[in-house]
Structure 1
Amino acid sequence: MKQTIDELPLTKAVTDVLHQLGVKDINPAYSTGLAWGGQEGCTTKEIYSPADGNLIASVNMATAEDYEQVVKQAEEAFKVWRKMPAPKRGEIVRQIGNKLREHKEALGKLVSYEMGKILQEGLGEVQEMIDICDFAVGLSRQLHGYTMHSERPQHRMYEQYHPLGIVGVISAFNFPVAVWSWNAMLAAVCGDVVIWKPSEKTPLTAVACQHILREVLTENELPEGIFNLVIGDAEIGSLMANDTRIPLVSATGSTRMGKKVGEAVGARLGKSLLELGGNNAIIITEHADLEMALRAVVFGAVGTCGQRCTSTRRLIIHENVYEQVKERLLKIYPSLPIGHPLSNTTLVGPLIDKDAVKAFQNALEAVQQEGGNLLIGGEVLEGEQYAIGTYVTPAIVEAENHYHMVQEETFAPILYLIKYSGDVENAIELQNGVKQGLSSSIFSTNLLETEAFLSHWGSDCGIANVNIGTSGAEIGGAFGGEKDTGGGRESGSDAWRVYMRRQTNTINYGRELPLAQGIKFDIMD
């Protein structure tokens, strides 16, 4: 009988996962898909699990010379990859999706153990990778343009899309593999090659993905350089942002980081796709189904221990149901199972590291100094089970929307309760009254309220949901936000277009050369 993770000695379970995924005690600094490499004598970084503080493995950190080797290999691979028909590229992505299915359980466990999200979320993240592969396979036969009627006789006009070249992907620790796959699988079917710089906090899942990719590349006799990995710190990200050989840089992370990347890429007139901070709100009107709303609020606020860019940070509640909602939340929060993310009973895992814990504590202290009322939570858990110091109790704070800390994104499980009165437009004004504009939600059974929320004077976020929470987006829709969130769009819908260059074509199939706008310019009799 197959054992669950709870029935195995934890060290053996993790060791088995690392072995299956090809993660060594010390892992090379870069991969070009088929080969691994790195400069001798480079810096080595040890990766510890936030779940129990144990050393998982180490990685060598890439140098500028390593980065240069990878870029050169990617340039050569692009010359081959772009000439492969898009449906054939889609076939490669289909095979990658199948390999991910084979390794879903192991990779999901590694995501959970290295990052700290609970096992169900780790498995869900790998499923998201599988789903985007399926989406990209279909997309490979739909990279379409438009046809237009020309004003000139015997002329035809149309648009087409061509591969860009090298796409740089800078991913964040909280979704160590899914966001990379959103970019990499779409870029691949579009004919681009990818250089991936994972978060230096969670590089081992990236190493595992490269081993999975290698199986597909080898089986199909494809060249090195299509899917590349460079493990490094901010210096590698800076090299990527300033490199004119990389026409598009997709960066996920904090607004502060994104502004640096956007400034560097913009200075060289490159393209940037920025997925940055969120300060997401759920509006609960007096017409809400409170049972549905509470389920969404709790998952949105404490899922991934509040470390999603779409986590619910603010709860804007109508005064007529405010006390009822508050009372229910104060009953639910003490019963949330907090513990090791690989345990099947855990709903709240650890924060990524002690720096995140400190930011959590500082934010709670600051908001209380502004007048906020801490209702529950905010403790750092102690005892043998929590000795690593990364486990906290999710906090609920009564606050006002204009408080400085409420205006900022704290990447931790802090939920601010904000009361509103009057009609829904007052709630929408509060929701929009922050710098970020990623995800938003309203719970109401009143059609007038929900339609106002979705109107062009409603939510100013890139994602606006009705009767579902702020987190847990499907891959079929374009993902991204406005304002300080960066304006980028990834994943579904027509997000694929950013990975391609747009070209307008006009064909003259006649024997005359008329000019547009009726211009006469005769140089011959």
Structure 2
Amino acid sequence: MLHKVLKNYRLLGGSTKIMNIMYSGRNLCHLPLIKERAYIDGEWVCAADDKIFTVSNPANGEILAKVPDMEEKDVEVAIKAASLAFKEWRNTSAYERSNIMKKWYELMLKHEETIAQIITLESGKPFIESRAEVNYGNAYIEFYAEEARRINGEILQSTYPTKKYFVEKQPIGVVGLITAFNFPLAMITRKLSAALAAGCTCVVKPATDTPLTALAMAQLAHEAGIPKGVVNVVTSSHASNPPVVDFMCKSPDIRGISFTGSVQVGKIINEKCAPHIKRVGLELGGNAPFIVYNSADVDVAVKSALNSKFRNSGQTCIAPNRFLVQDGIYDCFVDNLLVEIRKLKMGDGSKGDVKIGPMINVAQLQKVSHLVDDAISKGANCLLGGKRALSVGDLFYEPTVLTDVRETMKLYMEEIFGPVVSIVRFRTEEESLFISNQPEVGLAGYIFSSDISQIFRVSKRLEVGMVGVNEGIISAAEVPFGGVKQSGIGREGGHNGIEDYIDYKYVCIGNLRF
């Protein structure tokens, strides 16, 4: 096993410098930057009661690390460290914060290959996608390092000649950042970089399934000179998550919570924060329509469908959930899509030609299986896949294409979060909009058309926060990411992403003499 892992590691361009450790008599290897401690107040620490949980590779079940299973008392230490650090960090100049963040960015670039390998190991996504995530996630650090120096206030025109009105922007305080598994680097940098630029200090709670990337980032933040207590990373198991998150939401020392995850959990977090009047940012799930009109370029639509649907095996919040295809182009689109999907290879993401990895865990696999089985039992036509890929591994699910999908089926309204294409035929533009806007969520939507008037009409009427037009990859550091309706509150990315972490202070100076 060790020889095999080393060989794969060399093929990925990594160093062969490793640490050998023993788990149950088995010799496993760690890449550089893999940490088995949480990061609190500038130190690598265990849980107070020494509890741990394992992090495994979903592609093969191999144990990667054992990290602290922290509870409320551990989180309280992290919050107090962040509170103390805030007194200093808030008073650093924007120039100082910018320079420190640039150093962090440079270190992240230097170690991008190793970080990408860690992402692939703990999330299962193909290595080419992990490298893309590192580039994407690092872009947020670079963007907000620059944005730190552009958090400007205002001088307002006064009604009275003896008064001056000023508005300045100040950091809100300590913030709790709670993220999902599917983008273990970018989910964090999108939040953390904006918070640091604003002058906030942070307690980061990464997903249980993918904490190792967050810990690697913390190590590089430490090396970059981010002061102790400014960034803290606490880890916890699935069982410990509810009390840990509850404690963060209720702590009087945390002034804001930013969460990425499901709508159901987002509602709970919002409810827990409400009595304490905390600033809340929620980036929640969606049910993205992927609308292909008769005038669309089929090749562009199919290529975009592959990129947007099968990235991370469909485990992305903006992945298309329902493919709405107009009847005039329906057969051509479906036939071409099937041809391309059949070319996708499943397997261990560390292999260069693999395009589809595993589900992150058993619960996610079972959810996808249940939604597909339900649709088939209610009359959906399964053209491809439709079952677990046990010959590949325990957590793999075959790329699946379902047609004749109707609203009586659960996957019609529920987010699939898996490699499943559900196709609905429609006739008119009005019908496509009605179907698209039915869900109570509205994160992203996709339009494929060559009719510019139609593009503007549909873009305006789609009840979503983001629209991709003839494009399946829409995320970028410079743009506001977020949804409408029950898909969340606030925006991440772009200059708008600072807003969740600042307070406006108005100052009136009176009785001036000129």
TM-score over 0.5 (shorter chain): yes
Matches within 5 A, 1:340-359: 340-359=348-367
Is 1:463–2:463 an aligned residue pair?
Answer: no
Q: Counterpart of 2:488 in 1: which secondary structure?
A: coil
Measure, in 2, the Cα distance between the counterparts of 1:211 and 1:11: 18
* Aligned residues of 1:87 and 1:189 also touching (Cα < 8 A): no
Measure, in 2, the Cα distance between the counterparts of 1:18 and 1:85: 42
**Which residue in the other structure is 1:68 paired with?**
76
Is 1:412–2:418 an aligned residue pair?
Answer: yes
**Which residue in the other structure is 1:517 paired with?**
none
* Aligned residues of 1:425 and 1:452 also touching (Cα < 8 A): no
Is 1:142–2:173 an aligned residue pair?
Answer: no
Residues 225 and 417 of structure 1: CA distance in aligned 2, closer, same or farther (over 3 Å): same
Measure, in 2, the Cα distance between the counterparts of 1:11 and 1:149: 60
Show structure 1 runs of 5+ residues with no match.
513-525
Matches within 5 A, 1:113-512: 113-217=121-225, 223-232=227-236, 233-383=241-391, 386-387=392-393, 389-398=394-403, 399-401=405-407, 403-422=409-428, 424-455=429-460, 458-469=461-472, 471-508=473-510, 510=512
* Superposed CA offset, 1:464-492 (max 9, x none): 121112x4411110101011211231111
**Which residue in the other structure is 2:24 paired with?**
none
* Aligned residues of 1:169 and 1:195 also touching (Cα < 8 A): yes
> Bigger shift: 104-113 or 349-358?
349-358
Measure, in 2, the Cα distance between the counterparts of 1:147 and 1:83: 21
Letter in 1 for 2:499: R
Residues 181 and 69 of structure 1: CA distance in aligned 2, closer, same or farther (over 3 Å): same
Residues 411 and 425 of structure 1: CA distance in aligned 2, closer, same or farther (over 3 Å): same
* Aligned residues of 1:107 and 1:208 also touching (Cα < 8 A): yes
Measure, in 2, the Cα distance between the counterparts of 1:441 and 1:243: 40
Q: Counterpart of 1:503 in 2: which secondary structure?
A: strand
Q: Counterpart of 2:489 in 1: which secondary structure?
A: coil
**Which residue in the other structure is 1:518 paired with?**
none
Q: Counterpart of 2:387 in 1: which secondary structure?
A: coil
* Aligned residues of 2:48 and 2:74 also touching (Cα < 8 A): no
Deviation at 1:98, TM superposition (A): 0.3
**Which residue in the other structure is 1:22 paired with?**
33
* Aligned residues of 1:38 and 1:60 also touching (Cα < 8 A): yes
Measure, in 1, the Cα distance between the counterparts of 2:7 and 2:73: 45
* Aligned residues of 1:32 and 1:226 also touching (Cα < 8 A): no
Residues 146 and 453 of structure 1: CA distance in aligned 2, closer, same or farther (over 3 Å): farther
Residues 9 and 160 of structure 1: CA distance in aligned 2, closer, same or farther (over 3 Å): closer
Residues 299 and 84 of structure 1: CA distance in aligned 2, closer, same or farther (over 3 Å): same
Letter in 1 for 2:421: L
> Bigger shift: 333-342 or 248-257?
333-342
Which of the numbers 100, 109, 119 marks the counterpart of 2:108? 100
Q: Counterpart of 1:465 in 2: which secondary structure?
A: strand
* Aligned residues of 2:310 and 2:419 also touching (Cα < 8 A): yes
Residues 286 and 13 of structure 1: CA distance in aligned 2, closer, same or farther (over 3 Å): farther
Measure, in 1, the Cα distance between the counterparts of 2:106 and 2:29: 20
* Aligned residues of 1:81 and 1:193 also touching (Cα < 8 A): yes
Deviation at 1:136, TM superposition (A): 0.8
Residues 452 and 296 of structure 1: CA distance in aligned 2, closer, same or farther (over 3 Å): same
* Aligned residues of 1:21 and 1:211 also touching (Cα < 8 A): no
Q: Counterpart of 1:418 in 2: which secondary structure?
A: strand
Show structure 2 runs of 5+ residues with no match.
1-5, 21-27
Residues 148 and 370 of structure 1: CA distance in aligned 2, closer, same or farther (over 3 Å): farther
* Superposed CA offset, 1:33-66 (max 9, x none): 5212234543210111011111111111112221
Residues 146 and 207 of structure 1: CA distance in aligned 2, closer, same or farther (over 3 Å): same
Query: Cα RMSD over matched residues?
Result: 2.3
**Which residue in the other structure is 2:23 paired with?**
none
Measure, in 2, the Cα distance between the counterparts of 1:300 and 1:341: 18
Letter in 2 for 1:419: R
Measure, in 1, the Cα distance between the counterparts of 2:201 and 2:326: 50
What TM-score, normalized by structure 1, do the two folds share? Answer: 0.90
* Superposed CA offset, 1:309-334 (max 9, x none): 01111111111011111111222222
* Aligned residues of 1:401 and 1:430 also touching (Cα < 8 A): no
> Bigger shift: 159-168 or 11-20?
11-20
Q: Counterpart of 1:151 in 2: which secondary structure?
A: coil
Letter in 1 for 2:512: G
**Which residue in the other structure is 2:3 paired with?**
none
Deviation at 1:130, TM superposition (A): 1.7
Q: Counterpart of 2:202 in 1: which secondary structure?
A: strand
Measure, in 1, the Cα distance between the counterparts of 2:210 and 2:166: 44
Deviation at 1:425, TM superposition (A): 2.9
* Aligned residues of 1:87 and 1:137 also touching (Cα < 8 A): no
* Superposed CA offset, 1:401-455 (max 9, x none): 4633210112211111011112x23212211111211111101110111010222
Residues 279 and 11 of structure 1: CA distance in aligned 2, closer, same or farther (over 3 Å): farther
Deviation at 1:365, TM superposition (A): 1.1
Residues 54 and 15 of structure 1: CA distance in aligned 2, closer, same or farther (over 3 Å): farther
Residues 321 and 75 of structure 1: CA distance in aligned 2, closer, same or farther (over 3 Å): same
What TM-score, normalized by structure 2, do the two folds share? Answer: 0.92
**Aligned sequence identity (%):** 25
* Aligned residues of 1:42 and 1:63 also touching (Cα < 8 A): no
